[in-house]
Chain A
Amino acid sequence: MTTLLLILALGWPLCVAALGIWQAYRTPVARRRYFTGWWLSAAWPALLLAYAGEAQWAMDAWMLGSQWSLDALSRPWLAFTALLWSFAAVHARGYFAKEQARAQTGDSAAERRLLRLALLWPVTLSGNVLLIIAQDIASFYLGFAVMTFAAYALVVHNGTADAKLGARAYLILAVLGEGMILGGLLWAAGDTQSVMLEGVREAVATSDYGVAMAALLWLGLGVKAGVIGLHVWLPLAHPAAPAPASAVLSGAMIKAGLLGWIYVLPLGEASLSPALTQLGNIMLIAGLAAAFGAALYGVWQHHPKAVLAYSSISQMGMLTAMVAMGLAAPEVWPLLLPGVVLFAAHHALAKGALFMGTSISEHMPRWSPVVIWMLLALPALSLTGAFAGGLISKWSVKSALYEMHHETLISLLTWAAVGTSALVSVSLWRQWQQRSAGGSHPGQWGAWLAALVAALITPLWLPLPEGSAVVPPLKEWTSLMWPLPAGVLVVAFGLLVTRYGRLATPPAGDLWWPYAWLGQHVLKGVRRAGHGFAALKARCVDIALAIETRAMKSVTQLTAMEGWMRHHTSGLMMALAVMLALLLLWEGAS
C-alpha cells in the first residue's frame, strides 16, 4: 500500500503533466482549462504518503542503486512540502483564472505561458518529492536537478523584463550551485565508495578533506537556501514570479537546500575534526549575517514580495545558524533537529500564506477591509514568533539551545526576530499602499485561508516525534513576544523619520549588481583573450603554411634537377664510367 502510494507520489505529478500535454493536444484553445481537478491533485498522493507511516525501499536497477525512505525527518518534511504544494495549486487556479480567460479568447502569449507553467509545475513538484524521500546520492541529485531546472518556468512565467532578469539570476546561480554540489558529492562518494547519502556524511566526518567537501556542499546547496552572498536570486526572482510560484519557491524549494544540508553534513556527530567545527562557526556567522543583513536591507524595498524575499533570506539565515550548531556544537543537534523541522515547516506555510496574501491584497475580496488586514497580518504575527504556530516553533528551537546553554545565540536569534517583525510590518505596509480592489477568485482566497490556518496550527498536524512541540511556559512568553512590538515600533519610527527626507530605494538583489558588473568585465577580458588566441593561432597557421610552401618549392626544385640530370645523361654516365675505371685501376695498383 505504501509502495503504491510512493509510486503515485512520484509518478502522479508526471502523469498530470502528461495529461496536460494530452489536453493541450485535444482541446481547442477556446475551451482549454489548464488547472483542472487532476492538476490540483498532483501533490495529494505525496501528502497521503507522508501520513502513511515509516517505510523503506531499495531498488538496484534505478540509476546507481537507490534507497528511499520515509523516516522521522523525511515524513514531516514531505508533509509540509506536499501540503504547501497542494494549497499553492488551488491558489494558482484562482490566480491564473483571468489569464486563462484571456488565453481562451485568443491571447496566444497567455496560452503559451499557462501551458508551460501547467506542465512544469507538477514536474517541479515530483523533483521536490523525490529529493525528500531519497537516501541515495543519485536520486537526491536527480530530484534536486529536476526541481531546480523545471522551476525556471515558474520564475520566468510573466515574461516581463523583471521576470527574465530574475529567472536569469536564478538559473546562473543554480548552475553554479549544481556544479558545487556535484563536486562535493563526487569527492565524498569517491572517498567512501558509497552511493548513499549516509556515505557522504561519513566521508565528510572522517576524511582529511572533509571540511572542503562540507564547504562545497554547504555553498552548493546554499544557493537554494539563500546563504548570504549566494542569495541574490531570491529578491530578484520572487517579485517577478506569480504569487503561487513564489509561495512554493520560498516555502518548499528553498527548504530543499536546508534538507540537503541535513542529509549530507555530519550534523551532531561526536568528535568532529576542528576544521569542521571551524566551518560550523563560519556557517553560524554567515547565517546570522544573513538574518540581520537581509532585515536591514529588506526594509527599504518597495515591492512587498521583495520585502518578503528578504524575510525568507533572513529566516533561512536563522535556520543556517541552527544547522551550523550541528557542526559547531554537535551535542545540541539531537535536541535541535525537531525544532528545526518545526521551524522550517511553520516558515514554509506562513511564508506561503504571506506570498499568497500579496495576491489577495492586489485583488481584495469584497469583505470588510479590517477582516482582510487582520487575516493578512496573522501569518506575519506567527512568523515573528509571537503567536500560535510560530510561538511554539520558536520555543522548540530555543528550549533546545537553552538546555545546552547557548544563551548568546538565543539572544541573537531574538534580535533577529525584531528584524523579522520589521520586515513583515514593512511588507504589510507596502501591501496596504499598493492594494487594489477587484475581488478574488474563491480558489485564491480559499487556498490562502487554508495555508494561513495550517501555518497557525503547524504543530498539530506535523508528524513529529512525541513531545517535540510543546507550548512554552508562561514566563518565557515575554521573551518570545517582545520582538514583535519592537519591530513594529522600529518601522513606525523609521517611517516617521523618512517621511521628511526622501531616500532612494536600494535596488532589489543587492549584490547581484556588483556581481553582474564583475561578470561582464571578466567576460570582456575572456573575449579579448579569445580574440588574441585566435589571432595567434591564425599566425601560427600562416607560418606553417609558409614553411610548407617553401618545402614544396624545394621539393619541386628536385624535379628540376632531375630534368638537368636527364639532359646530361650521357656526359654523367661517361664521368661515372671513368671514375669507376679509375677506382678499379687504383685498387689493382695497391
Chain B
Amino acid sequence: MNAAWLPLTALAASLLAAVIIFSLPEEARRVRTSVNLTAAVIKISLVALMVKRITNGDEAVFSFQVVGNIDFVLRADALGVMFAGLSSVLWLCTTVYAIGYLEGTANRKRFFGFFSLCVASTLGIALAGNLFTFLIFYEMLTLSTYPLVVHSGTDKALNAGRIYLRYTLTAGVVLLFGVVLLYSLTGDHSFASERGLGDYLDDHRVLLTLIFALLVGGFAVKAAMVPLHGWLPRAMVAPAPVSALLHAVAVVKAGAFGILRIIYDLYGIELSVELGVTTALAVASCITIIYGSMRAIAQQELKPRLAFSTISQVSYVILGVSLFGPFGTIGALAHLLHQGLMKVTLFFCAGIYAEELGIHRIDEMDGAGKRMPLTSLAFTIGAFGMIGLPPVAGFITKWYLGIGAIQADMYWVVAVLVASSTLNAIYFLPIVHRLWFRVGPAHGHGHWPDEQRLGRLETHGWLLWPAVFTAAISLAAGLFAGLPFSPLDWATRVAVGEYLP
C-alpha cells in the first residue's frame, strides 16, 4: 500500500505554514504563533506515521514527471525519515525558542516565514528520492536561509550574508555541473535503486571520480569542511535560533546528508571504496575535525567557538561514512542526530546567556551557573556530550566511530578521535569551569554586561524549556541508547538496510 499523500503533506505542512505566515499582518502575533506550532506538531505526527510505516516495511513514495525522463520524487525511506524526524523535532523546539527570543522585535513575519521555508526545504532534502529533487530543495534552502542570516540588517550581518551566498551559490553551480554530468551519463537515477553506479565503472572510471568530486565538493561547502568552511563562523551574526537551526539540522547537516546520499544511495559503498574516494574523504574529514577544534580553542567569544566546534563535529558524520563498514555507518548516522541535539542545546544556551545577561564573551560567563542553573546545566550536558563523555549521546557515536575505524584497519582515525576529544575538553571544560566554579556577578563581583529579567524563572520560559528539553533528550539518547527507536537504534536499522539489502 502506497501512501503518496504522506510525504507530500509533511512537506506541505511547513510550506503552507510559510504561505500563511507571509499573508498574515506583522502584528498578528498570536495567530502566527498558533500556525507555527500547529504546523510543527502536525509535521511531527506525520513523520511519526512514516516511522510506523517503515517499521511495517513499506515506504511512502510520491512522484510525477517533470520533463523528459526527469522525475520529481519524494520518498520516505529509513535514512530520509531519520533526517526528517530530526528536523521536525528540532523545528518545534527552535520555533518555541524563536518565539521567545524575538519577542517584541521587528520583522518577525519575515523571520518566521523564511524560517518555515527553511524547514520545508530541509524536509524536502530529507525526503528527496533522486538527485534532481534533492538539488531543488538544496538550492531552496540556500535562498531561504539568507534572509535569516541577515535578519538583524546590520552591516556585519549583510556582509556575512554576502559571504554566505558567495560560498553556497558557487557550490550550487559546482553541484549543478556534477548533477548534469551525471544525468548525461546515466539518466535519472533514483536513490532507491539497488544497482548503484557499478555498471559504469569499467568504461567511465575517471568521469565517475570527477562527478563524485564535483558533487561532494558542492556539498562540502554546506557541510563546512576545511577549507570550504569560511562562511560558517561569519554566519554567527544571525539570531541564536537561526544559528541553532543552521548548525543542528538545516544547512550544515544538509551538506552532510547530501554526502551520505551520494555515497550510500547513489554510488553505493562498494563503488566508493573501489574508486578510492572514501579514503580521501576520511583524510579530509580528519583534517577538518582537528582544524575546527584548534580554531575553536582560539576563539574568545561563545558563538564563534561553538561554530568552529560544529565544523569539527559535523565532519564526524563524514568520517563515519568514509569508514567502510557497518559500525562507521551507524556512528555517522547516529551522530547526525546526536550532534543535532547537542549542538542545538548549546546554541539555545548561548542565546539565553546573550539575551538574559548580555554575555557574548567567554570570560563574561563567570559564575553564571548560580544565576541560571538550568541553562547552565543544559550547557554542561551539551558540552560533555561534545567531548564525548558518557552518558551523553556524543559518547555513543564516538564509540561506534572508533570501533568502525578499528574494523576498517584505520588505526590513525582512533588517534584523531582521541585527539579531538581532548581538544574538545580543552575548549569546553574551561567554559563549564567558569559557569560553576568561578565567582562572578551572581556572587556580587561586578555586573553582567546587560542583564534583563525576562521571566519569572531564570529567563523567559519559552527560551528555557526548549534548551532543557533538548539537553534531556541528548542525555537520554546516550543513557538509553539500547531502547527501540532511540537514535542509535534507528541508525542501526538504516545501516543494516545499507549493508544487508
A residues with a Cβ closer than 8 A to B are 59-65, 108-109, 112, 116, 138, 141-142, 145, 149, 152-153, 156, 171, 175-176, 178-180, 182-183, 186-187, 189-191, 193, 209, 530
Contacts and interface: CB of A to CB of B under 8 A. Distances in A.
A171 to B, nearest CB: 7
Nearest to A63: B481
Contacts of B395: 63, 138, 141-142
Contact of A179 (B294, B396, B422): B422
A186 B396 contact: no
B402 interface: yes
Given A63-B396, A171-B429, 11 more contacts: A63-B390, A63-B478, A64-B481, A64-B482, A108-B444, A175-B422, A186-B414, A186-B417, A190-B327, A190-B406, A530-B298
A175 B425 contact: yes
B163 to A, nearest CB: 11
A206 B399 CA distance: 21
Contacts of B403: 186, 189-190, 193
Nearest to B426: A175
Interface in B470-501: 478-483
A60 B482 contact: yes
Interface in B292-333: 294, 298, 327
B54 interface: no
Contacts of B414: 183, 186-187, 190
Interface stretch (B122-130, B216-224, B435-443): B435-443
A112 B229 CA distance: 42
9 contacts: A59-B482, A61-B480, A138-B395, A153-B437, A178-B421, A179-B421, A179-B422, A183-B418, A193-B403
B425 A138 contact: no
A112 B389 contact: no
Contact of A62 (B327, B405, B415, B482): B482
B480 A190 contact: no
Interface of B: 294, 298, 327, 370, 388-391, 395-396, 398-399, 402-407, 411, 414-415, 417-419, 421-422, 425-426, 429, 436-437, 439, 443-444, 478-483
A190 B402 contact: yes
A112 B422 CA distance: 29
B429 A63 contact: no
A209 B407 CA distance: 13
A93 B390 CA distance: 31
Contacts of B437: 116, 152-153, 156
A149 B417 CA distance: 20
A138 B418 contact: no
B33 to A, nearest CB: 32
Contacts of A149: 389
Contacts of B294: 530
Given A186-B414, A530-B298, A142 B425 contact: no
Contacts, number: 99
Contacts of A190: 327, 402-407, 414
A142 B421 contact: no
A85 to B, nearest CB: 21
Contacts of B327: 190
B399 A112 contact: no
Contact of B482 (A65, A152, A179, A182): A65
Contacts of B390: 63, 138, 141-142, 145
Contacts of A145: 389-390
A401 to B, nearest CB: 36
A112 B439 contact: yes
Nearest to B298: A530
A439 B436 CA distance: 34
Nearest to A182: B418
A590 to B, nearest CB: 40
B444 A187 contact: no
A178 B419 CA distance: 11
Contacts of A112: 370, 439, 443
Given A63-B391, A138-B399, A176 B482 contact: no
Nearest to A216: B418
Contact of A63 (B388, B402, B415, B482): B482
B415 A183 contact: yes
Q: For B391, B398, B406, which residue has the most chain A Cβ atoms within 10 angstroms?
A: B406
A524 B149 CA distance: 36
Contact of B439 (A109, A138, A141, A180): A109
A63 B422 contact: no
A187 B480 contact: no
Given A64-B396, A142-B390, A183-B414, A176 B422 contact: yes
A290 B243 CA distance: 51
B421 A63 contact: no
Nearest to B327: A190
A189 B482 CA distance: 17
A149 B436 CA distance: 13
Given A108-B444, A186-B402, A61 B483 contact: yes
Contacts of B411: 187, 209
Contacts of A186: 399, 402-403, 405-406, 414, 417-418
